[in-house]
Amino acid sequence: MDIIEPMAMTIKEAANGLKNKLFSCEELVRASLGQINKFDKQINAFVAVCEKEAIREAKEIDIKISKREILGPLAGIPFSAKDVFCTKGIRTTACSNILNNFIPPYDATAIKRLKDAGAILIGKTNHDAFGFGSSTENSDFQVTKNPWNQNKVAGGSSGGSAAAVSAGMGLFSIAEDTGGSIRQPACFCGVSGIKVTYGRVSRYGVIAYGSSLDTIGVIAKTIDDTAAVLNIIAGKDPYDATTLNEAPADYLEHIDNGIADLVIGIPEEYFISGMDKEMETAIKEAIKEFERLGAKIKPISLPYTKYAIPAYYLSGISEVSANLARYDGIRFGFSDSEAKTIEEVYQLSRAKGFGPEVKRRIILGTYALSAGYYDAYYKKAQQIRKLIKNDFEKAFSEVNIIAAPVSPFPAFNIGEKTDDPLKMWLADIFTVTANPAGIPALAIPCGFSEDDLPLGMQLIGPLLSEQLLFRAGYSYQMATNWNKNKPKL
Active site residues: 82, 157, 181
Residues 130-169 binding other proteins (CB under 8 A) are none
Candidate list 85, 290, 425, 476; residue touching other proteins; CB under 8 A:
425
Nearest approach, Cβ of residue 477 and other proteins (Å): 28
Closest by Cα among 446, 432, 6, 11 to 191: 446
- DSSP letter at 361 equals H
**Residue 359 binds to other proteins (criterion: CB under 8 A):** yes
Candidate list 22, 103, 293, 479; residue touching other proteins; CB under 8 A:
103
Binding track over 427-446 against other proteins, x by CB under 8 A: ---------xxxx-------
**Residue 210 binds to other proteins (criterion: CB under 8 A):** no
Binding track over 273-312 against other proteins, x by CB under 8 A: ---------------------------------xx--xx-
Task: Please list the alpha-helical segments (H only) found in 238-341.
Answer: 277-292, 308-323
Nearest approach, Cβ of residue 229 and other proteins (Å): 23
Nearest approach, Cβ of residue 399 and other proteins (Å): 20
Neighbouring CB atoms inside 10 A of 296's CB total 15
**Residue 377 binds to other proteins (criterion: CB under 8 A):** yes
Rounded Cα distance, 306 and 185, in Å? 22
Strand order in the sheet with 78-82: 46-49, 120-125, 78-82, 172-177, 215-220, 192-195, 441-448, 454-460, 401-405, 263-267, 296-300
Nearest approach, Cβ of residue 151 and other proteins (Å): 26
**Residue 418 binds to other proteins (criterion: CB under 8 A):** no
Total of residues contacting other proteins (CB under 8 A): 74
**Residue 394 binds to other proteins (criterion: CB under 8 A):** no
Which listed range, 107-115, 128-136, 178-186, 371-379, lies at the site for other proteins (CB under 8 A)? Answer: 371-379
Rounded Cα distance, 464 and 458, in Å? 16
Candidate list 347, 418, 448, 479; residue touching other proteins; CB under 8 A:
347
DSSP per-residue letters across 408-470: SSSPPBTTSSTT-HHHHHHTTTTTTTHHHHT--EEEEEEEE-TTS-EEEEEEE-STT-HHHHH
Question: By the 8 A CB rule, do 36 and 58 touch?
Answer: no
**Residue 244 binds to other proteins (criterion: CB under 8 A):** yes
Nearest approach, Cβ of residue 464 and other proteins (Å): 11
Alpha carbons within 13 A on the beta-carbon side of 85: 33
